């Protein structure tokens, strides 16, 4: 295992680290310009770049060691990524009970179904070198779709409490009262992926296609395969957004069909003492 890892530590890695240092320097310059315009993101940018570099180096080390691992190992890696994705997505649901299971099952269902279909149709090989990178792209987009859907759905409900309760008072089912907001939330989560699909090949050439062409694959096949990846990302996002909003809808009402998701009440102001005349 150590010998295999040493084989990947070469002059290319050292060159990559030097190039990464140059990229960090450029980002630091941009952050400095932002600070000059009173846009202060210095701390967040530093933490983000440090985490990003360390995490990607660790991923590279893991892939180098487990490059020829089994499907089980690859599945465990993707499972760990799904847990991390759910932990990231729940930041949009602060204070809501059961937020982690909601996000986890939504992301796991959306990405899991699509990855399984890709493996069954041989659009994706079980080799870790292919399974983990492609699977991680699908999980990451499912995470973003989950976060966008639940944030939009929650905002819509909080903004229309009066209309929802009016519908409930007239005997409407809870699912009916929030149906327009559920549709809006799912559409909002799909919109970035729809735009990505529309601009595919015209505005941007994704990294998977570029990597395949550089490695010697047919440019036509690389283009078709990149389309498959983006289409699967769109499908995973749709499944995730739908499941996330449906699960959140069930938590927004009590067993007695009462709306429990409400805006936080502002603390009452203390009475002002009467002024003498």
pTM comes to 0.76
Round the average pLDDT of the chain to a whole number and report it. Answer: 83
pLDDT confidence band for 112 (50 / 70 / 90): very high
Average pLDDT, stretch 29-41? Answer: 86
Average pLDDT, stretch 241-269? Answer: 79
pLDDT confidence band for 206 (50 / 70 / 90): low
Whether 1 is covered by a domain: the verdict is yes
Let me know whether 93 and 215 are in one domain.
Answer: yes
Check residue 69 and give its pLDDT. 66
Task: Lowest mean pLDDT of 35-49, 77-91, 217-231, name the range.
Answer: 217-231
- 6 to 59, 63, 73, 74, 107: CA distances (angstroms): 15, 13, 21, 22, 35
Let me know whether 17 and 137 are in one domain.
Answer: no
- Residue ending a domain, choose from 14, 37, 65: 65
Check residue 199 and give its pLDDT. 82
pLDDT confidence band for 9 (50 / 70 / 90): low
The percent of residues in the chain predicted with pLDDT above 70, rounded, is 83
Check residue 138 and give its pLDDT. 94
Whether 91 is covered by a domain: the verdict is yes
Q: Which residue blocks in 90-206 are alpha helix, DSSP H?
A: 99-120, 128-159, 161-169, 174-177, 179-198
- Residues near 228 by Cβ (< 8 Å), separated by ≥ 6? 118, 123
Check residue 266 and give its pLDDT. 41
Q: Are 116 and 138 in contact (CB under 8 A)?
A: no
- 221 to 13, 48, 197, 213: CA distances (angstroms): 29, 35, 17, 9
Let me know whether 162 and 244 are in one domain.
Answer: yes
Give the whole-angstrom CA distance, residue 253 versus residue 177. Answer: 11
Average pLDDT, stretch 266-270? Answer: 44
Q: Are 219 and 213 in contact (CB under 8 A)?
A: yes
Residue 268 has pLDDT above 60, yes or no: no
- Residue ending a domain, choose from 34, 65, 96: 65
Let me know whether 31 and 144 are in one domain.
Answer: no
Residue 35 has pLDDT above 50, yes or no: yes
Whether 261 is covered by a domain: the verdict is no
Check residue 68 and give its pLDDT. 64
Average pLDDT, stretch 172-191? Answer: 92
Check residue 182 and give its pLDDT. 93
Let me know whether 101 and 190 are in one domain.
Answer: yes
Whether 262 is covered by a domain: the verdict is no
Q: State the CB neighbour count (10 A cutoff) for residue 194.
A: 13
Task: Lowest mean pLDDT of 50-64, 99-113, 180-194, 237-251, name the range.
Answer: 50-64
Range(s) of the domain holding residue 57: 1-65
Let me know whether 58 and 79 are in one domain.
Answer: no
Let me know whether 26 and 125 are in one domain.
Answer: no
Question: What are 120-126's contacts with CB under 8 Å, separation 24+?
Answer: 123/225, 123/228, 123/232, 126/70, 126/71, 126/74
Angle between helices 128-159 and 179-198 (to 10 degrees): 140
Check residue 113 and give its pLDDT. 94
Number of domains, the chain: 2
Q: State the CB neighbour count (10 A cutoff) for residue 70.
A: 12
Let me know whether 56 and 147 are in one domain.
Answer: no
* Exposed / middle / buried, residue 2 (Cβ in 10 Å: 0-12, 13-18, 19+): exposed
Residue 184 has pLDDT above 50, yes or no: yes
């Amino acid at each position: 295992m150590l010998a295999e890892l040493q084989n990947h530590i070469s002059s290319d890695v050292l060159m990559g680290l030097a190039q990464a240092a140059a990229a960090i320097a450029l980002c630091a310059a941009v952050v400095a310009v932002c600070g000059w315009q009173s846009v202060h993101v210095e701390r967040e940018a530093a933490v983000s770049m440090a985490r990003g570099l360390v995490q990607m180096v660790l991923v590279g080390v893991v892939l180098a060691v487990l490059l020829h691992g089994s499907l089980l190992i690859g599945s465990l890696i993707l499972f760990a990524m799904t847990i991390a994705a759910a932990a990231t997505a729940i930041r949009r649901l602060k204070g809501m009970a059961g937020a982690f299971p909601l996000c986890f099952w939504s992301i796991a269902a959306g990405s899991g179904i699509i990855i399984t279909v890709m493996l069954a149709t041989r659009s994706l090989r079980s080799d870790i070198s292919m399974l983990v990178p492609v699977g991680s792209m699908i999980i990451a987009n499912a995470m973003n779709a989950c976060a966008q859907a639940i944030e939009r759905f929650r905002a819509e409900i909080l903004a229309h409490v009066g209309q929802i309760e009016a519908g409930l008072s007239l005997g409407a089912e809870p699912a009916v009262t929030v149906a327009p907001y559920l549709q809006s939330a799912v559409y909002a989560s799909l919109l970035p992926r729809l735009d990505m699909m529309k601009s595919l090949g015209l505005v941007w050439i994704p990294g998977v296609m570029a990597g395949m062409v550089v490695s010697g694959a047919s440019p036509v096949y690389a283009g078709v395969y990149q389309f498959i990846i983006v289409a699967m990302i769109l499908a995973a996002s749709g499944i995730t957004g739908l499941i996330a909003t449906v699960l959140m809808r069930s938590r927004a009402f009590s067993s007695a069909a009462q709306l429990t998701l409400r805006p936080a009440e502002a603390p009452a102001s203390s009475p002002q003492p009467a002024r003498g005349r």
